[in-house]
Each structure stands twice: as structure tokens, then as C-alpha cells.
């Protein structure tokens, strides 16, 4: 045997270049050539700066307790990294049997992952909200929304992308309902939203706070989605049905947030709805809540 290592081929060198490794092991020479070509293309894209940037790494669990007039008292937001399936496979053991069974009814693997990640994030939110809370299963209502039907259950909302899941939980008496949404920052997505869902006036409001029109259009979309969840609106295409009458910069609700916006949404005869959106760690988050609940709960409790 030669004392010197054999010189690697160009294909082998390309495969060892710094880039993402696809799942599975090449089965034959054809697979090796295909993978080497893909890796070489990815490396060339990185050198040219044309490849879409990867999202920054997330902590396994992030708890946020925002305060102020944009949030109900006691609100907890929990964020969970949804990119690592082996973590999800291990953490799903903490979920009730009913939630795991519901996940198995979802045909798409990506939907199952999103469902499980959202429920895991919600468990973390419950623990942060009240360590003494013994939560039951969170299944779905007739509209497919997360539904906690045990006595004294907190107000809840869940959202997820392919990168992360976010869950919100608030004390029962703090508000009537809450809504949370999240979208990853993506230039193609932002430009599509500008074309499809922003009126001329809305685009002008967004551009005044975000000349690049990147995070702003996504923030408006997330704010609409959060309002739909919080106020249980029946809307077909809310990109045009929900009109943004206000879109202004405000102080970020989190230390790691880059910027934030207060958004006011009008919908038919419904009273004005308000949401807050913020950019943080490669994504845009939004939150809205229905403050009428506290009054309604107090009235229902009277003899």
C-alpha cells in the first residue's frame, strides 16, 4: 500500500466542499455524480452570493413575556426550532396521546412536523404561564383551529413555518381571544405580497417605514392573519378584504427585535382591529388580541 494518500477526484472534492448534505447515502455511481453536481452548484452559488441566505440558528426553546398596551397581561410567547426532526421525535413524548394521535391523521409529513412543533411550543408556553397548570390535550375545533376545552384553559394561538413554531398563551381572564402569526423573511414572498395583497395606499404606508419593501409587506400580512385568528373572522381572501388603515413604526417588544410596527385593520362593519408586528432573527412575528373578553367574562360570572 502506498504511504501517500491517493489524490481525490474532482467529484470527491466537490462533495467535501462546505455545503448542505442531502439525506440518504448515494447508492451507485450515478447518484454520486448527481450529488457531486448539486454540491458544486451550491458552492458556486455561495461564492457568487446568489443563494438565499439560511435562517440563523434558533435556541431549542425561547420564552418571551411581552408587556405594554399591545399585549394582554400575563401573555407568554414560546418559540421552538422546527428544523430538527430528531428533536421533535424525542419531544413529542411530552404530548398527550390525543395530540399525537391527531398528528398521525395528517397525510403530509411537513404538516405533521408543523403540528407537533406547534404543540411542543404550546407546552412550553403553558409551563411558563403557570408551573402548576396541568393542561389537557389541545385538539381542533370545527374550523381546524387549536382548541383547549378543559375548564379554566388559557387563551391560546399557534403558528409555524418550516423553520420555527410559535405558541401564545394568556390567562383566561386577560382577554377574549388571541392570535399569533409568523413568516420567514423572504424577498420573493415579500414582492408577491406587494403585488397580490397591498393596495396603492397600503403600499405607500408600508414603504414609508420600510423603503426596501422586505419586512414591511410580510409584517402587514402577519398582522392580518393574527387579527383573523384573534377575532375569529370568516374571510375568504383577506389580502384585500382586510384593509390596513394604519401602519406605523413603534418600539420593538423584544430585545432582539430589529424593528416593529403597529397596524390597524378595518374589515366591513367590524370595529377597528389592532395588531403589533416585529422583525427578529430572520422572521416577522405578529400578535393581536380581543380585549372585549375580560368584560364578557365578568358579566357572565355575575349571578
Residue 109 lies in a domain: yes
Closest CA to 266 of 195, 203, 202, 194: 202
Same domain, 149 and 217: yes
Same domain, 30 and 148: no
Residue 53 lies in a domain: no
φ/ψ bin of 284: left (φ > 0), alpha (ψ from -120 to 50), beta (otherwise): beta
Strand order, beta sheet including 155-160: 61-64, 76-81, 164-170, 155-160
Q: Which domain holds residue 28?
A: 10-48
The tens digit of pLDDT for each residue in 218-258 reads 999 999 999 999 999 988 766 678 999 999 999 999 999 99
CB 103 within 8 A of CB 116: yes
Return the C-alpha cell found at 12: 470527491
Same domain, 72 and 187: yes
The tens digit of pLDDT for each residue in 100-154 reads 999 999 999 999 999 999 999 999 999 999 999 999 999 999 888 999 989 999 9
Same domain, 30 and 179: no
Same domain, 143 and 241: yes
Q: How far is CA 182 from CA 66, 124, 250, 280, 285, in A?
A: 16, 17, 18, 10, 4
CB 293 within 8 A of CB 230: no
Q: Measured between alpha carbons, how far is 141 from 216 in angstroms, rounded to an integer?
A: 32
| Interstrand relation of 164-170 and 76-81 (parallel, antiparallel or unpaired) | antiparallel
Same domain, 176 and 251: yes
Same domain, 184 and 163: yes
Q: Measured between alpha carbons, how far is 181 from 160 in angstroms, rounded to an integer?
A: 8
Same domain, 22 and 101: no
The tens digit of pLDDT for each residue in 186-226 reads 999 999 999 999 999 999 999 999 999 999 999 999 999 99
- Residue 32: the pLDDT is 56
Same domain, 214 and 115: yes
Beta-carbon contacts of 103 under 8 Å, excluding residues fewer than 6 positions away, are 92, 112, 115, 116, 119
Q: Measured between alpha carbons, how far is 5 from 301 in angstroms, rounded to an integer?
A: 80
Same domain, 41 and 123: no
Q: How does DSSP assign 126-149, residue by residue?
A: HHHH-TT------EE-TTS-EE--
Beta-carbon contacts of 291 under 8 Å, excluding residues fewer than 6 positions away, are 72, 175, 176
The pTM of this model reads 0.78
Which of 58-67, 247-256, 259-268 is predicted least confidently?
A: 58-67
The CATH number for 175's domain is 3.90.470.20
Amino acid at each position: 500500500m502506498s504511504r501517500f494518500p491517493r489524490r481525490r477526484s474532482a467529484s470527491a472534492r466537490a462533495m467535501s466542499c462546505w455545503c448542505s448534505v442531502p439525506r440518504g447515502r448515494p447508492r451507485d455511481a450515478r447518484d454520486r455524480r448527481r450529488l457531486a453536481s448539486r454540491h458544486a452548484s451550491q458552492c458556486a452559488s455561495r461564492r457568487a452570493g446568489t443563494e438565499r441566505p439560511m435562517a440563523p440558528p434558533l435556541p431549542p426553546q425561547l420564552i418571551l413575556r411581552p408587556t405594554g398596551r399591545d399585549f394582554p397581561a400575563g401573555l407568554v410567547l414560546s418559540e421552538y426550532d422546527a428544523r430538527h426532526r430528531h428533536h421533535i421525535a424525542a419531544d413529542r413524548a411530552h404530548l398527550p396521546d390525543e395530540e399525537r394521535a391527531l398528528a398521525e391523521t395528517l397525510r403530509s409529513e411537513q404538516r405533521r412536523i408543523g403540528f407537533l412543533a406547534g404543540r411542543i411550543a404550546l407546552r412550553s408556553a403553558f409551563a411558563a404561564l403557570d408551573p402548576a397548570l396541568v393542561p389537557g390535550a389541545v385538539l381542533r375545533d370545527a374550523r381546524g383551529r387549536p382548541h383547549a376545552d378543559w375548564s379554566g384553559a388559557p387563551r391560546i394561538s399557534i403558528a409555524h413555518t418550516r423553520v420555527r413554531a410559535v405558541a401564545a398563551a394568556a390567562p383566561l381572564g386577560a382577554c377574549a381571544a388571541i392570535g399569533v402569526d409568523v413568516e420567514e423573511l423572504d424577498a420573493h414572498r415579500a414582492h408577491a405580497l406587494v403585488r397580490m395583497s397591498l393596495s396603492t395606499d397600503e403600499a405607500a404606508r408600508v414603504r414609508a417605514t420600510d423603503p426596501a419593501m422586505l419586512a414591511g409587506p410580510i409584517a402587514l400580512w402577519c398582522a392580518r392573519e393574527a387579527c383573523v385568528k384573534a377575532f375569529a373572522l370568516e374571510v375568504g381572501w383577506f389580502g384585500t378584504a382586510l384593509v390596513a388603515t394604519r401602519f406605523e413604526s413603534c418600539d420593538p417588544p423584544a430585545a432582539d427585535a430589529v424593528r416593529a410596527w403597529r397596524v390597524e385593520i378595518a374589515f366591513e362593519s367590524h370595529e377597528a382591529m389592532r395588531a403589533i408586528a416585529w422583525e427578529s432573527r430572520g422572521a416577522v412575528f405578529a400578535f393581536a388580541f380581543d380585549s372585549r373578553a375580560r368584560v364578557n367574562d365578568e358579566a357572565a360570572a355575575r349571578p
